[in-house]
């Protein structure tokens, strides 16, 4: 069966793609959703002066704002209605998934199957609204405060009405992006939320490359440094592709069965990816760090002469990107979410029970509890390697850029997201094409075996 699937995958051509009308419809739907997201990123919140907003952002660029701006595809720089992106939805997903592991009522919902999953998704949406309300209000108030402090009137008419209109606009934009992401997941190709994040990062890529080349032309960056950055980026992409395809194949045997050729024993392999968690840990870790940093920045920007304000400003400074404290917390968060999400994705107890139910076993391992312990042992060992790989990919470019004094917005995290989401989307496209090929073969086989009428 595996060789047949590989043969079909290798025989996929452009003509096969033209015949796959369902796949084309899904691709066009996905592209349309991403185009809509990019158009919305240019629609400013009511009451914003775009020219003054651009000037204000230049005075505040760097640090946490650049991280927000990269993930939103430049929407924060224009303070558009989707300036918060899908980060509030991701933060809500973190809370609900953690609750599904620790909170007993939610653990019971997870065991109910599809109905329980729908309820948890609904809780995620409600929590997204609450988080977006808080972040939206803080962003609007922070913008008003910065406009006054810098003497740049980015807000045309500050006050209560602008705060209400701005908060409602940001909440509506984030919820609309959440809906687009869910629609892409169900009616398009790939994971909708991940594709929206990737689209925002890719939209910033030409600007980042242009700044790099301009720095080389003006002499602010040496040609050797620019060449080294390009080589490092290519090497990281190749390394990510290699590691994302790496897997541990566990041998599974089944009891001997009577066949035409006599008694034969069936064997198969259970593949366990080295990075089972995928791109989720860096996104979760960055999202979890961005929310408290937003609150700290807003509280510090309110001014005042009290010691509390100075204390908040100091903490915010230590937790800025490229700062050692931020990198340490970011690395710890990535490692934690790698183990957490791997445990969510791969249930050792359920896998061992399924093998036992179907008569499968691992050579030298007793079915049941011993098999479950073996899966946990294997999973923990490869997850350590996977977590180390993710931490290195996400932190090494930041450390090198900090040592060189560069402000590289598109670092290892961005490359990881772009490469991982692209590979996942291409894999899903290939799966749809293979399914279409199988469907054509089945139809031809039925036509050939149809008996003639007498």
* DSSP code, position 266: E
Write down the pLDDT at residue 13: 54
Q: What token pair was written down for 209?
A: 């490359």
Write down the pLDDT at residue 2: 45
Condensed to tens digits (0 to 9), the pLDDT of residues 211-252 reads: 777 877 887 777 787 788 888 888 888 999 999 888 888 888
- The three-state secondary structure class of 364 is coil
Q: Cα angle at 300 between 299 and 301, to 5 degrees?
A: 95
Looking at the 3D structure of the chain, how many domains does it have? 1
Q: Let me know if residue 454 belongs to a domain.
A: no
In which residue ranges of the chain is pLDDT below 70? 1-18, 60-68, 256-265, 291-313, 315-317, 321, 402-411, 436-454
Q: Let me know if residue 390 belongs to a domain.
A: yes
- The three-state secondary structure class of 411 is coil
Q: Let me know if residue 368 belongs to a domain.
A: yes
Q: Let me know if residue 396 belongs to a domain.
A: yes
- What are 253's strand-pairing partners? 267, 361
Write down the pLDDT at residue 406: 60
Q: Let me know if residue 313 belongs to a domain.
A: yes
Alpha-carbon distance of 76 to 144, in angstroms, equals: 14
> Which among 255, 292, 84, 242 is positioned nearest to 176, based on CA atoms?
84
Write down the pLDDT at residue 59: 73
Contacts of 187 (CB under 8 A, 6+ apart): 26, 29
Range of the domain at 229: 2-449
Long-range contacts of 254-261 (CB under 8 A, 24+ apart): 254/358, 254/359, 254/360, 254/361, 255/359
Can you say how many angstroms the Cα of residue 169 is from the centroid of all Cα atoms in its chain?
24
Write down the pLDDT at residue 16: 62
Q: Let me know if residue 67 belongs to a domain.
A: yes
Alpha-carbon distance of 415 to 401, in angstroms, equals: 15
Computed over its alpha carbons, how large is the radius of gyration of the chain? 26
Alpha-carbon distance of 419 to 428, in angstroms, equals: 14
> Which among 181, 204, 2, 153 is positioned nearest to 89, based on CA atoms?
181
Q: Let me know if residue 365 belongs to a domain.
A: yes
The CATH number of whichever domain residue 117 belongs to comes to 1.10.3370.10
Write down the pLDDT at residue 143: 83
Which pTM was predicted? 0.79
- What are 271's strand-pairing partners? 249
């Amino acid at each position: 069966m595996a060789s047949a699937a590989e043969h079909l995958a290798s025989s996929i051509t452009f003509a096969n793609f033209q015949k796959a009308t369902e796949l084309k419809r899904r691709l066009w739907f996905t592209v349309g959703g991403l185009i809509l997201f990019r158009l919305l990123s240019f629609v400013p919140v009511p009451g914003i002066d775009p020219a003054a907003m651009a000037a204000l952002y230049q005075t505040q660029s760097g640090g946490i704002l650049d991280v927000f701006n990269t993930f939103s595809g430049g929407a924060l720089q224009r303070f558009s209605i989707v300036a918060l992106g899908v980060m509030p939805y991701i933060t809500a997903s973190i809370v609900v998934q953690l609750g599904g592991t620790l909170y007993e009522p939610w653990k019971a919902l997870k065991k109910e199957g599809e109905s329980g999953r729908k309820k948890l998704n609904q809780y995620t949406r409600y929590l997204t609204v609450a988080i977006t309300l808080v972040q939206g209000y803080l962003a609007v108030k922070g913008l008003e405060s910065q406009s006054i402090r810098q003497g740049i009137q980015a807000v045309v008419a500050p006050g209560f009405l602008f705060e209400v209109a701005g908060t409602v606009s940001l909440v509506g934009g984030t919820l609309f992006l959440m809906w687009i992401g869910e629609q892409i997941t169900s009616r398009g190709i790939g994971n909708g939320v991940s594709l929206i994040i990737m689209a925002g990062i890719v939209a910033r890529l030409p600007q980042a490359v242009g700044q790099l080349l301009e720095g080389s032309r003006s002499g602010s960056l040496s040609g050797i440094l620019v060449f080294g950055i390009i080589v490092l980026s290519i090497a990281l992409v190749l390394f990510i592709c290699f590691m994302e395809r790496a897997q541990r194949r566990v041998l599974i045997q089944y009891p001997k069965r009577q066949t035409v050729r006599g008694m034969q024993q069936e064997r198969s392999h259970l593949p366990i990816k080295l990075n089972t968690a995928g791109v989720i840990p860096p996104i979760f870790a960055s999202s979890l760090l961005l929310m408290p940093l937003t609150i700290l920045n807003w509280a510090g920007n309110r001014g005042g002469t009290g010691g509390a304000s100075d204390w908040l400003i100091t903490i915010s400074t230590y937790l800025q990107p490229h700062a050692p404290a931020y990198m340490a917390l970011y690395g710890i968060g990535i490692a934690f979410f790698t183990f957490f999400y791997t445990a969510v994705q791969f249930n050792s107890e359920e896998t061992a029970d399924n093998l036992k139910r179907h008569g499968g076993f691992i050579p030298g391992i007793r079915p049941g509890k011993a098999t479950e312990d073996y899966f946990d042992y294997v999973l923990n060992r490869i997850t350590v390697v996977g977590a180390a790989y993710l931490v290195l990919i996400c932190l090494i470019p930041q450390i090198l850029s900090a040592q060189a004094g560069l402000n590289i917005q598109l670092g290892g995290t961005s490359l990881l997201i772009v490469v991982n989401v692209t590979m996942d989307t291409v894999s899903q496209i290939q799966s749809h094409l293979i399914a279409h090929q199988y469907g054509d073969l089945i139809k031809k086989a039925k036509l050939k075996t149809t008996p003639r009428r007498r």
